[in-house]
Amino acid sequence: MIQNLPYIAVALLIIIGLYATIFKKNLIKIIMGITILESGVNLFLITLGYRKGAVAPIYTNLPEGTKVPQSLTFPVPQALTLTSIVIGVAVLALMLAIAVQIYRKYRTLDVTKIRRLRG
Binding residues for another protein (CB under 8 A): 14, 18, 21-25, 27, 30-31, 34, 37-38, 41, 44-45, 48, 76-77, 80, 83-84, 87, 90-91, 94-95, 98-99, 101-102, 105-106, 111-112, 114-119
Minimum CB distance to another protein smaller for 32 or for 64? 32
Least distance in angstroms from the C-beta of 93 to another protein: 9
Least distance in angstroms from the C-beta of 88 to another protein: 8
> Which stretch of DSSP H or E encloses residue 44?
helix 27-48
Give me the long-range contacts of 20-27 (CB less than 8 A, separation at least 24).
Answer: 25/110, 25/111, 25/112, 26/109, 26/110, 26/111, 27/99, 27/102, 27/109, 27/110, 27/111, 27/114
Minimum CB distance to another protein smaller for 44 or for 72? 44
Minimum CB distance to another protein smaller for 62 or for 102? 102
Least distance in angstroms from the C-beta of 63 to another protein: 25
Minimum CB distance to another protein smaller for 48 or for 62? 48
- Residue 10: Cβ within 10 Å count: 21
Residue 116: Cβ-neighbour burial (10 angstroms; 0-12, 13-18, 19+): exposed
